[in-house]
Amino acid sequence: MDKAYQPTEVEDRLYKKWIREKCFLGKIETDKPAYSIVIPPPNVTGVLTMGHVLNNTIQDILARRARQQGKSVLWLPGTDHAGIATQTKVERALKDEGKSRMDLGRENFIDHAKLWRDKHGGIILEQLKKLGCSCDWERNVHTLDEDYSRAVISAFVKLYKKGYVYRGQRMVNWCPSSLTALSDEEVIMKPQESILYKIRYQILETPGAYLEVSTTRPETIVGDVALAIHPDDPRWINLQGKHVMRPINPQAMPIIADEAVEKDFGTGILKITPAHDRLDFEIAQRHDLPMLEILNPDGTLNELAGPDYAGMERFSARKVIADKLREDGNLIEEEKHQNNVGFSERADVPIEPRLSEQWFLKYPRVEEAKKAVKDGHIKFYPKRWEKTYLHWLDNIQDWCISRQLWWGHRIPVWYKKGKMRSDPANWHISEKPPSDIDQWEQDEDVLDTWASSWLWPLATMGWPEEEAMGEKGLDYFYPTSALVTGPDIIFFWVARMIMAGLEFKGRPYKSDKAIPDSEIPERIPFNDVYFTGIIRDEQGRKMSKSLGNSPDPLDLIAKYGADGLRHGIMSIAPKGQDIRFSEERIEQGRNFCNKLWNVSRFRSMSAQLEDNSILELIVLRIQGDVLNEDDQAILLRLVETLDQVEKLYGEYEFNAVLQTIYRFFWNDFCDWYIEASKARVQESASKDTCLAIQDICLRHILLLLHPVTPFITEELWFLLGFANGNSIQGMAPGTGAELLEKLSIGGLQLDTNVLDEMEHIRELVTSMRSLKADRNLSNNREVAFSYVASDEKADILSRHSKSILTTVGGSALNRVDVAPTGMPALVTPFGAIYLDLTVGVDLSAEKARLQKELVNLEKIVQSVKAKLNNQAFTSKAPPEIIEGARHQLLENEAKLNETKEALSALT
């Protein structure tokens, strides 16, 4: 074995072996419980980020743990076609060649995009393999696969037939950069420093009188059709029915009254631009005002804006029109103003509210989706996201699902050629095109990407084809066991998958009929949802490509190993909190692996390895009469650790799991047990027993760690002889009770009292080390110690004296009747312990130290005494707390006396 663990070779070799042995295939084995996870499909052309590392490490931990527990596990991988993102990338590449998608035409463009996808796509999947992800790669799914596409189209048709899908002329969020409509969820509100312009409009009926109106968007004045006031606003009550002159492209416009006007904003008068503002649109509809559309799809002004402005880009037009207003004396005031502006999530440009004909979806199963979470059929971890989820569902708006893109699932709607498209009589909506296809033309649009990925848990498992569902095990693996994702897509994806599952899984219900409660558990797509935190950089900024602050996970893997990266990232991932990334933690992950490697190496160097393939065989090597307190204590701590880990996994407390294992492995096992057993392994009487205990501990440590660090644990599993040819993957660490039972077949009974005793011994050892260290004697093994103690305590000490001296590094531990004079001392659970020094003691420094301790102890004794004398405490506090306080008092009083004695012995 190498002195330092070398992950690269091990990881590549073992991953190949696991694939070769088909360890990750999700098999339908009805005699076993199923455990399934569907991966949140990354963008097909994306690359691995730290967010993916976190997310997928967690999924892998869950999958591997379930495999250890003997479940039949399916972790289903795949990728998302990511409509806008991918199309944008492909178009950008085309642009570099001087071409546009229009030059290619739809079909050529899609072929081109597919080539692009096949070339750049799937990189991320290879990266996941490097990370060690145990996905069933034979079931890899892409959302544009033929089967998957059929499912998407089928869902659309089903929803249309049930009346959930409709086409309508509506205000939508328009992205002038991507040239498509977006859903509300794809609009990011960002606070912006804008200018609030106060503009005057002349009142026609009262020449010379003006109304002042505030707006941040003066370029839309050319689209104004009215001014509006609140009907209850006393300032403007007599303006109703009068008219004003539009200051740009002068034209008379009515003044109307509408309750939607905000009285307190600006002057309380609102300009109405119906075609370019959602609220204005609603008001205009109520008042039967004309729509004046002055913007082109790309955000430039059109002919209706007038010859002076036509063709001008929207933000230039804003300046030009403001200048014109100023020139004409119609601009009263400009002030800085912070407002929220909606940006396109993908293109990051301000969106334009625009009147447009689109396909909309009225969400199915909203009530049932709420119920599924409220009634606990779906559990969120952490729970507080439930509130966010329910709030969104309570305020849910219809979903604009058509996108003016080519990369995606083309909407299965055909229109009669030459007829009105808005009339449903001229529609053919079906999975199959009409038979007289040349009489029809298909809708040019594609579906929102999320309108395909919301079917992910269903469509990846064969839905809606009966045969495919059987083959892929929909009934066996669905609902999936857990979903692991970020809270940023709770609306985009999580909520929508829940609604899709409720609507489509199982037998159909009419849209006005609720799904019966009894069917909710089998229709929901997953039982648990674990929301990860968002990974931030060391300054707390969100990691992003544009900031360049995200490290490349592959670099980290090369530097620290996949196991090191996984361990590191998991140890800093508190439940539901954002994660501050730090490379130091990844380094710690690597160090952890190295420590594990070395303690295993040490074990293999101590003696020939025995047959370790079955736990019982190891247990039988233990001789009950040789078993000492160290042995008992480490086994008891192992029992505790097994149970704690089990419990913490149930609550998805991953970093607590890691901490628990770390403590047992590093502090209890390496720092204490291994050190203490060094002497005993040298003696033939205790050697076998001691090594057997080491083997039991190592075996369970490997099993506990395997989900987190799969490579090194598998490697050591073989090297330490636990394997007997079999991978660690199918072995469970088991519970504490199971371990106790196995131990009992060797006739071993553990006494939990030794835990306290060992705790005291460890305190003693720490004190003794400290006595030495403070005098720079830590490398001197010839120092002697003396102590004064009762018979009972002396008895314990004599039993442990050997390991105490080994671990402390001392030559003798002598019991004396009276405190020796002039020696430095510390008070321990066993009384005062004296460092036997013949020379060089700084008496005044020793005194000062003991004096300080004395003050501290007196303070504690005082406060506990006061507490016990307080009748309110003794009458109200529970008995065990009072008992604890009494105990504390006795203990500290004893210490106090010892300290006094040690102090007086100094002089």
- Window 558 to 587, contacts with RNA (CB under 7 A): 572, 574, 577-580, 582, 584, 587
- Does 818 engage in binding with RNA (CB under 7 A)? no
Dihedral over Cα of 504, 509, 513, 515: its sign: negative
> How many Cβ atoms are within 10 Å of 244's Cβ, its own excluded?
26
CB 68 within 8 A of CB 732: yes
In angstroms, give the least distance from the CB of 841 to RNA: 17
Q: Specify whether the CB–CB gap between 365 and 499 falls below 8 A.
A: yes
SS3 state of residue 776: coil
774 lies in the site for RNA, by CB under 7 A: yes
The only residue of 242, 666, 719, 794 in contact with RNA, by rule CB under 7 A: 666
Nearer to RNA by Cβ, of 210 and 602: the residue is 602
Q: Which of 32, 542, 742, 847 binds RNA (CB under 7 A)?
A: 542
Cβ at position 652, least distance to RNA in Å: 12
Q: Which two tokens stand for residue 470?
A: 């059987």
Residues 614-653, mask of contacts with RNA (x by CB under 7 A)? ----------------------------------------
**Two structure tokens written together for 516:** 């019966």
Tell me: does residue 8 bind RNA (CB under 7 A).
Answer: no
Site for RNA in 185-214 (CB under 7 A): 185, 188-189, 191
Write each residue from 754 to 773 as x if it is in contact with RNA (CB under 7 A), else as -, in one continuous string. -----------xx--xx--x
Smallest gap from residue 599 Cβ to RNA (A): 4
Query: Look-up: residue for tokens 């057997």?
Result: 692
ω into 254 cis (within 30 of 0)? no
Phi, psi angles (nearest 5°) of residue 213: -130, 135
In angstroms, the CA 462 to CA 479 distance is: 14
Footprint of RNA on residues 863-892 (CB under 7 A)? 863-864, 867, 870, 872-873, 876-878, 881, 884-885, 887-888, 891-892
Stretch of 145-153, 411-419, 718-726, 855-863 contacting RNA, by CB under 7 A: 855-863
Residues 49, 87 contacting (CB under 8 angstroms): no
CB 312 within 8 A of CB 324: no
Of 77-85, 448-456, 665-673, 733-741: span binding RNA (CB under 7 A): 665-673
5 near RNA, judged by CB under 7 A: yes
Smaller CB separation from RNA, 412 or 487: 487
Residue type, 733: P
Sign of CA dihedral 241, 247, 249, 250: positive
- Note whether 821 binds RNA by CB under 7 A: no
Give yes or no for residue 260 binding RNA (CB under 7 A): no
Q: How many residues bind RNA (CB under 7 A)?
A: 81
Positions 360 through 389 that interact with RNA (CB under 7 A): 384, 387-388
- The one segment of 57-65, 218-226, 245-253, 593-601 that binds RNA by CB under 7 A: 593-601
**Interface stretch with RNA, choices 33-41, 261-269, 424-432, 672-680 (CB under 7 A):** 672-680
Residue with smaller CB distance to RNA, 5 or 236: 5
For 79-136, the DSSP string reads: EB--HHHHHHHHHHHHHHTT--HHHH-HHHHHHHHHHHHHHHTTHHHHHHHHHT----
Q: Does 340 bind RNA (CB under 7 A)?
A: yes
Comparison of 389 and 477: residue with beta carbon closer to RNA? 389
Of 212, 646, 675, 688, which lies in the binding site for RNA, with binding defined by CB under 7 A? 675
Among residues 155 and 187, whose Cβ is nearest to RNA?
A: 187
Least Cβ distance, residue 149 to RNA (angstroms): 28
547 burial class (0-12, 13-18, 19+ CB within 10 angstroms)? Answer: exposed
Q: Does 588 bind RNA (CB under 7 A)?
A: yes
State the minimum distance, in angstroms, from the CB of residue 784 to RNA: 17
Looking at 180-188, 354-362, 610-618, 712-720, which segment touches RNA (CB under 7 A)? 180-188
User: Cα(61)–Cα(316) distance, rounded to whole angstroms?
Assistant: 54
* Distance of alpha carbon 213 from alpha carbon 332, whole angstroms: 9
Q: Where are the alpha helices (DSSP H) in 395-461?
A: 450-453, 456-459
| Binding track, positions 285-324, relative to RNA; x by CB under 7 A | ----------------------------------------
What's the closest the beta carbon of residue 67 comes to RNA, in angstroms? 28
| Cβ(450)–Cβ(183) below 8 Å | yes
How many C-beta neighbours within 10 Å does residue 844 have?
9
Q: Binding to RNA by residue 744, rule CB under 7 A?
A: no
Of positions 335, 671, 795, 858, contacts RNA by CB under 7 A: 671
Residues in 474-533 at the binding interface with RNA, rule: CB under 7 A? 487-488, 491
What residues contact 275, with CB distance under 8 A and at least 6 apart? 223, 281, 291, 292, 293, 294, 295, 354, 355
Q: Is 166 in the site for RNA (CB under 7 A)?
A: no
**Could you tell me the end-to-end alpha-carbon distance of the chain, in angstroms, rounded to an integer?**
56
Residue 602 binding RNA, by CB under 7 A? yes
Cβ-contact 449, 80 below 8 angstroms = yes
